[in-house]
Amino acid sequence: MGTMIIDGRKVEFTDEKNVLSVIRKAGIDIPTLCYHSEVSTFGACRLCTVEDDRGHTFASCSEEPRDGMVVYTNTGRIKRHRKLILELLLAAHCRDCTTCVKSGECNLQMLAHRLGVTQVRFENTREIREIDDSSPAIIRDPNKCILCGDCIRACEELQGVGVLGFAYRGTDAMAMPAFDKRIAETDCVNCGQCRVFCPTGAISIHTNMDEVWDALADPELRVVAQVAPAVRVAVGDAFGLDKGRSVMGKIVNVLHRMGFDEVYDTTFSADLTVMEESAEFVNRVQAGIKLPLLTSCCPSWVKFVTDHYPEFKENLSTCRSPQGMMSAVIKEYYRDPKHAAGKKTVVVSIMPCTAKKMEAKRPNSFTKGEQDTDIVITTTELIRMIKNSGIDFAELDPEASDVPFGFGSGGGVIFGVTGGVTEAVLRRLIPEHDKRALDEIAECGVRGDDAIKEFSFDYQGTKLNICVVSGLVNAKNIMEKVKRGEANYHLIEVMACRRGCIMGGGQPPRAGVRTKAARSKGIYSADNVSIIKKPDENPMVMALYEGLLKGKTHELLHNQEY
Amino acid sequence: MLDQSYYRKADEIIEHYGRKASSLIPIMQDIQGEYRYLPGELLTYVAGEIGIKEAKAFSVATFYENFSFEAKGKYIIKVCDGTACHVKKSAPILEALHKTLGLSKKKHTTDDMMFTVETVSCLGACGLAPTVMVNEDVYPRMTPESVVALVEKLRGEGK
């Protein structure tokens, strides 16, 4: 508690952990490249340097606020400092901005522009290093690395995976996996948080946009899209629309215009997931086996379990993810020559997630020897494709998704946030359909931004202990507790990315506090306006069980093994 | 693949220092002391045993010049190229060593695993410049001729 004087104005502070946060609170967007409030402070980039009343300069991220402290954020000296720092960073950085995949969303580029760096006096003497494109999810280009360490801290502190580290020293220093292994040879779970944190093009998404354009241009193919719940709340702001507002209708329209034959909604298969997973859950609870049930929607989490907790493989739900179920069902539908009409079907999955690219290639993502999901693109790639097409997205009229897989319940939509899967399963477990019963579930502890949510739920006289986790490092802590026998859960829902899929590795990066809150709100609003809240109320889902899925639920909706 | 005996030795060393993150450096030093280099597979193994990430262990191992992932020769010859030695003409000494042993800036160790030649920044014996160290012994005021003679002498002893 106290008061600081920032650029001559009094600013109150309470529990801010550093001067930087107080300055930002005062409405001054001080530049940073290595500071993220969710991971530890590193203090490497020095861009947040400020000056005090005695002329001392210091990095504001690494200094605690003190009562009576006087700081200046924009003196001539500070400005010169910052500009020089950027110039020095750029000196050892690849300068192919126009052709860089991160162009337009690169922090380094933006800051260079903002701070007025118009030329770099120094020659880049760093040797050119090989680009690692071994991973289906991310690409690592060491030539664009500025050694801020953001990827390292995200991987280690948020995800507990720790694939990346600093290696070597001085001018040889690099951020890389141990022994400079290729990403595909490491324990990387493909979550893409390193890419979200990377302020430059050093880590980017392994893009598949060209394959989609090629498929769309081929008249022999039927190109079918499925759009995940979290995508719809992260596209609008790229086109000047409200942050977090669901623009699913516009997305459907734009995809039709681009040439997609059918546009389906992954919330539909999220409903299928709820049907299957809740049945599986009840069976396990009644039999008292393979508990806690671990959710299987998140491919990064599934990989984390199979890599690090193989003894819990059996606990993973056998349900395919919504992406997996949807693609398997679509492919099966078009196997019928009546529906195929002589065309081969290509399923394009539009996801907030980089790991879905890996999931699509997992051996258990094949049905009848055929890969279910042909191409996965992320929200970021979708936005780029819309821009590429030149279609005025903001002005598009909303359109409805196509039948028969274009409609999901509100329970399917909330899969996009942490706790959503659990909430939808709980909705399915209760017989009631009224608002009061659903509100009770919403308030049982399943919602909210907390990384770990523990609560219990009464199911026909049995007290179900439930844990909802986001962020793999938190999941790891919970699993260690389970392993030691200190925790007794019936269900553990894990989403690898903090806050769930709305903050997935494939979403547009640089989301601040407001964007995070808006995306979450957008998902719950989409649920609020759904007339149908439970999967068993979804007539399309029930019709599918009576038709196409008869005798095929095991084959189409479940993973045969992990 | 490393022989099982390497892992047994590593276990012994890990046991001695304790399974904790802070044991990393002493463990790596002892392993290198034992084998004259740090086998990469063992670094991965040690990281797993003391509960740190492989990338972190690699980070520490590459930070210090002293750790080497390449097997070193029986005689490690360190040619000082600090300021004093450099002006006293240490470069021709290094050149002579490279020539007589068939080594280069990229190839540090002879194929018979007898000699490894490295440069170091300062041995702290500037009064004796130019200085060369062979394992633990310091050789003062070297010349290209005397260093070649030294190599011949060591080669005789080493056989």
Ordered domains of chain A (ranges, CATH): 2-74 (3.10.20.740), 122-205 (3.30.70.20), 210-557 (3.40.50.1780)
CB environment A232-249: b (16+ within 10 A), e (fewer): bbbbbbbbeeebbbbbbe
Binary contact (A165, B40; C-beta < 8 A):
no
Structural domains of chain B, count: 2
Mean pLDDT to the nearest integer, A330-344:
96
Residue B54 falls inside a structural domain: yes
Domain identity same for B36 and B93 = no
Residue B12 falls inside a structural domain: yes
Per-residue three-class SS string for chain B: CCCHHHHHHHHHHHHHHCCCHHHHHHHHHHHHHHHCCCCHHHHHHHHHHHCCCHHHHHHHHHHCCCCCCCCCCCEEEEEECCHHHHHCCCHHHHHHHHHHHCCCCCCCECCCCCEEEEEECCCCCHHHCCCEEECCEEECCCCHHHHHHHHHHHHHHHC
Residue B70 falls inside a structural domain: no
Question: CB within 8 A of A330, min separation 6: which ones?
Answer: A224, A226, A264, A345, A347, A372, A405
- Token code pair at residue A542: 């029930």
Mean pLDDT to the nearest integer, A529-541:
94
From chain B, which residues contact A within 8 Å (Cβ)? Answer: 40, 43-44, 53-59, 62-63
Q: Which residue has the higher pLDDT, A286 or A510?
A: A286
Span A74-96, pLDDT tens digits: 999 999 999 999 999 999 898 88
Stretch among A51-65, A121-135, A176-190 having the lowest mean pLDDT: A121-135
Span A47-59, pLDDT tens digits: 999 999 999 999 9
Span B134-144, pLDDT tens digits: 998 999 999 99
CATH number, domain with residue B51: 1.10.10
Binary contact (B63, A169; C-beta < 8 A):
yes
Find the residue in B nearest to A167 (Cα): B59
Binary contact (A162, B55; C-beta < 8 A):
yes
Torsion of CA A101, A107, A109, A111, to 10 degrees: 170
Span A223-242, pLDDT tens digits: 999 999 999 999 999 999 99
Question: A-chain residues within 8 Å CB-CB of B56?
Answer: 156, 162, 165
Chain mean position to CA B91? 19
Residue B98, pLDDT > 90, answer yes
The whole-angstrom separation of Cα B130 and Cα B82 is 9
- Token code pair at residue A383: 């936005």
The whole-angstrom separation of Cα A178 and Cα B47 is 11
Binary contact (B63, A156; C-beta < 8 A):
no
Span A262-290, pLDDT tens digits: 999 999 999 999 999 999 999 999 999 99
Q: Is the ipTM of this complex over 0.90?
A: no
Whose structure tokens read 């179920």? Answer: A325
- Predicted confidence band at B159 (pLDDT cuts at 50, 70, 90)? low
Question: A-chain residues within 8 Å CB-CB of B43?
Answer: 178
Domain identity same for B93 and B29 = no
Domain identity same for B136 and B84 = yes
Find the residue in A nearest to B63 (Cα): A168
Mean pLDDT to the nearest integer, A87-115:
92
Mean pLDDT to the nearest integer, A509-524:
94
CATH number, domain with residue B108: 3.40.30.10
From chain A, which residues contact B within 8 Å (Cβ)? Answer: 152, 156, 162-169, 176-179
Single-letter residue type at A387: K
Residue B158, pLDDT > 80, answer no
Stretch among A105-114, A473-482, B63-72 having the lowest mean pLDDT: B63-72
A378 strand-pairing partners: A351
Residue B31 falls inside a structural domain: yes
Domain identity same for B99 and B139 = yes
Residue A127, pLDDT > 90, answer no
Question: B-chain residues within 8 Å CB-CB of A177?
Answer: 54-55
Domain identity same for B37 and B112 = no
Question: How many contacts (CB atoms, under 8 Å) link A and B?
Answer: 37
Question: A-chain residues within 8 Å CB-CB of B40?
Answer: 179
- Predicted confidence band at A323 (pLDDT cuts at 50, 70, 90)? very high
Report pLDDT for B72: 87
Domain identity same for B42 and B93 = no
Residue B68 falls inside a structural domain: no
Mean pLDDT to the nearest integer, B124-131:
92
The whole-angstrom separation of Cα A50 and Cα A56 is 8
Mean pLDDT to the nearest integer, A182-189:
96
Mean pLDDT to the nearest integer, A44-70:
95
pLDDT above 70 as % of chain A: 100
Residue A460, pLDDT > 80, answer yes
Residue A166, pLDDT > 80, answer yes
Find the residue in A nearest to B62 (Cα): A168
The whole-angstrom separation of Cα A481 and Cα A476 is 9
The whole-angstrom separation of Cα B47 and Cα B24 is 8
Domain membership of residue B129 as a residue range: 75-158
Comparing C-alpha atoms, which of A359, A332, A346 is closest to residue A550? Answer: A332
B74 in Cβ contact with A195 (< 8 Å) = no
Q: Where are the extended beta strands (E) located within A270-401?
A: 293-294, 344-351, 366-367, 370-371, 375-378
- Predicted confidence band at A37 (pLDDT cuts at 50, 70, 90)? confident
Strand pairing category for A366-367 and A370-371: antiparallel
Mean pLDDT, all residues of chain A: 95
Mean pLDDT to the nearest integer, B72-101:
94
Find the residue in B nearest to A183 (Cα): B55
- Which residue, among B52, B59, B68, would best test binding to A if mutated, counting the most A CBs under 10 Å from its CB? B59
- Which residue, among B24, B58, B121, would best test binding to A if mutated, counting the most A CBs under 10 Å from its CB? B58
